[in-house]
Structure 1
């Protein structure tokens, strides 16, 4: 499998399962309605596990543009590969969330709360304070990337300029899942912890496009925060990692 197909499929599964659990919790008449934050954070962590297992052996299991950019900053992935990884991730996220919509279409139509519908696609803050929301996304993604640099299998860390990125197989996916779980539990209550630009932007685009009864706006005024914030956090993590290694 090519690394770009791997990133597409891995991100598709991540968003299918991750946004799937949100739909199950927030939409009306589902079996999991109102089952809460623990259910959401646990399923998102397991969704990361699934996505990384599928893609890890072929692409390094980034499934997140922030990870891809951090790997390039840290000289673990050629910059020429970055646009293709990100396009694959974005496309995978758009397909994954479209499958959530298809599976839960009846429940979307029975949910009159447009904000609840939107929550099954993309993130929004619990308290809208853009500067602090931005800091929260930077912080969560910094924790994600800085830790990934230390638990990734050293035998799969490439030298600068080679094609092989940091990779994580089934065993490496376990700590990745725990890492995302603790970030969600500890830091996710403020913004919904996007920590992944594709996970938020791709589904937000599809929320704009897909037909739903009672649909609200897609909140584009906030959309830059879960894109730029994670990128900034990832770059900071990579720069600090490189500084420590010197």
Structure 2
């Protein structure tokens, strides 16, 4: 596959991933949404189906990696590094496009949610700056639709949670090649999507399981740029954790694969 195919495939596939994944977060979160309050199980399955859709769409063009952590793990396994920049650029751009489309799809719900007196009362920004609301909290009231955040803000625990979840994901993907034909016929994508659901249900509670740097960083940038009323901060003080944690987890998974399975 050419570098152009990689870039196009990853851009489109990641855009679909974030559109559907961010979309389920918006559906569950926003007022005047029919799915409001559907809960964590709906979010976990929504992200699993988002991976399924995005990866199938991109598979023929780029392999459907859609995740810088997966790209890093695959590069460690294969030793092929020259295509990595094209994967990363497509993934970040696609994540931003997908997040923007979530806003377009839920435009009325965003407006209703962020002008609701109850939400404004909890999420007003403070004079100290846009990164904290009036109660000193770093995240705005709809930031969770775009990016992740911890339930308990402990950087060491938060990083370790992302490392562990991503290592499971990447090791699962890398070992698919050990089962003949699994990674080639589409079954591997289906199983990976189910694993994402499982990671969400089992390990998503502490941090919201980014397990994908582009999935978190691209939408966080879009959140900071969108003209959302009363949106609060984008929590940039936390943003390094869902980037470095997954990359570290991928490096561990890649190293473990080479040590144990080759």
CA displacement at 1:199 relative to structure 2: 0.3
Structure 2 Cα separation of the partners of residues 34 and 245 of structure 1? 43
- Does the 8 Å contact 1:61/1:168 carry over to 2? no
CA displacement at 1:58 relative to structure 2: 2.0
Q: 1:147 aligns with which of 172, 192, 195?
A: 172
Alignment of 1:45-124 (within 5 A): 45-75=48-78, 78-112=80-114, 113=119, 114=123, 115-124=140-149
- Does the 8 Å contact 1:38/1:185 carry over to 2? yes
CA displacement at 1:170 relative to structure 2: 3.1
Structure 1 Cα separation of the partners of residues 38 and 221 of structure 2? 27
Structure 2 Cα separation of the partners of residues 69 and 239 of structure 1? 11
CA displacement at 1:35 relative to structure 2: 0.6
Inter-CA distance 184–224: structure 2 relative to 1 (3 Å threshold): same
- Does the 8 Å contact 1:45/1:177 carry over to 2? yes
- Which deviates further from its counterpart, 130-139 or 55-64? 55-64
- Which deviates further from its counterpart, 78-87 or 167-176? 167-176
* Pairing 1:206–2:222 present: yes
Inter-CA distance 153–245: structure 2 relative to 1 (3 Å threshold): closer
Structure 1 Cα separation of the partners of residues 96 and 251 of structure 2? 25
Structure 1 Cα separation of the partners of residues 221 and 246 of structure 2? 18
Alignment-derived partner of residue 197 in structure 1? 213
Inter-CA distance 231–10: structure 2 relative to 1 (3 Å threshold): same
| Runs of 5+ unmatched residues, structure 2 | 124-139
Once the two structures are superposed, what CA deviation does each residue of 1:130-159 show, in whole Å capped at 9, x if it has no partner? 1100000000000001111122476679xx
Alignment of 1:223-242 (within 5 A): 223-242=239-258
CA displacement at 1:239 relative to structure 2: 0.2
| SS of structure 1 residue aligned to 2:164 | helix
Q: 1:6 aligns with which of 4, 9, 17?
A: 9
Which structure has the larger Rg? 2
The number of equivalent residue pairs is 236
Structure 1 Cα separation of the partners of residues 103 and 225 of structure 2? 11
Structure 1 Cα separation of the partners of residues 226 and 185 of structure 2? 34
Inter-CA distance 168–187: structure 2 relative to 1 (3 Å threshold): farther
- Does the 8 Å contact 1:130/1:225 carry over to 2? yes
- Does the 8 Å contact 2:175/2:257 carry over to 1? no
TM-score, with structure 2 as normaliser? 0.86
